[in-house]
Amino acid sequence: MALTNDTIQQRLQEKFGESVFAFRDSHCMLEFAAPKELNLKVLNFLYDDAALQFQFLTDLTGVHYPSNKGGELAVVYHLHSLKENARLRFKIFVPIEQPEVYTATGLFSAANWMERETYDFFGILFVGHPNLKRILNVDEMDYFPLRKEFPLEDQTRIDKDDEMFGRGGTIK
């Protein structure tokens, strides 16, 4: 029997009760969230449960929601159960003042660089990560460029210095 989104949701709710929430179907993919303390427990459960077996980490990334107070930064996991061919999306929200999440590197080797990238872009600290340092940007960089408040454009450029190019000017 194919694994349906309802079955996954049922299994998760049996195990974690009210702790897992915000279930929804987003374009045929199950999506839910959990508190940040539970992220490893949920991942482990999804990994080990005989009926689910979400043992392939497809993707891990971050999102910045400046208006979501208390949970400005989100860590998004995409998991894939290759046996059942089911995918799901799992979100963790953390406050920007203390963006700490347990690392998934113990479970998935693939999470290593993905977490480094997320740290590089958003400054999310993965507790227990073996080598949490910048991966794509230079080590000297002192901000997290994908947070919404930082500009995209290279601020040192002087030849296209007006608001149409995102430098100087008055338009914000």
Partner 1 sequence: MSRPVSYNLVQKPLEKDISVAPLPDGHQGEGFFATSLDSVIGLARKNSIWPLPFATSCCGIEFMATMGSHYDLARFGSERVGFSPRQCDLLMVMGTIAKKMGPVVRQVYLQMAEPRWVIAVGACASSGGIFDTYSVLQGIDQVVPVDVYVPGCPPRPEAIIDGVLRIQDLVGKESLRRRNSEHYKALLNSYGIQ
Partner 2 sequence: MSEQHIKLPEGSIEKTTTTLNLGPTHPATHGVMQNILELDGERIVSADQTIGYIHRAFEKLAERRPLAQITTLTDRLNYCSAPLNNMGWHMTCEKLLGVQTPKRVDYLRVIMMELARIADHLICNSIMGVDAGAYTGFLYVMQYRELIYEIYEEVCGARLTTNMGRIGGFERNFTDKAFQKLEKFLEEYPRALKEFENMFQRNRIFMDRTMGVGGISAERALNYGFTGPNLRAAGVDYDVRVQSPYSSYQDFDFIIPVGSTGDCYDRWLVREQEMWQSLSILGQAYQKIQSFKGAEAEVYHADAPAYYLPEKKDVYTKMEALIYHFKIIMGETEIPAGEVYHSIEAGNGELGFYLISDGGRSPYRLHFRRPCFIYYQAYEELVKGSMLSDAIMTMSSLNLIAGEMDA
Four-residue CA torsion sign, 52, 77, 70, 5: negative
Using alpha carbons only, what angle is made at residue 35 by residues 32 and 41, rounded to the nearest 5 degrees? 85
Contact by Cβ (8 Å): 46, 79: yes
13 binds, among partner 1, partner 2, none (CB under 5 to 8 A by kind): none
Residue 152 contacts partner 1 per CB under 8 A: yes
Does residue 167 interact with partner 2 by CB under 8 A? no
Q: Which is nearer to partner 2, 20 or 62 (CB)?
A: 62
Binding span for partner 2 by CB under 8 A among 2-10, 37-45, 84-92, 94-102: 84-92
Nearer to partner 1, 2 or 158 (CB): 158
Pick one of 38, 40, 76, 125: the residue that binds partner 2 (CB under 8 A): 76
**30 Cβ contact partners less than 8 Å away, ≥ 6 residues apart:** 5, 8, 9, 23, 24, 86, 87, 88, 89
Q: Which of 33, 72, 117, 119 binds partner 2 (CB under 8 A)?
A: 117
Tell me which residue of 24, 6, 15 sits closest to 44, measured CA to CA. Answer: 15
Give the C-alpha separation, 170 to 162, whole Å: 9
161 binds partner 1 (CB under 8 A): no
Give the footprint of partner 2 on this chain (CB under 8 A): 26-27, 29, 31, 55-59, 61, 63-64, 76, 78, 82, 85, 87, 89, 108-110, 112-114, 117, 121, 134-138, 145-146, 152
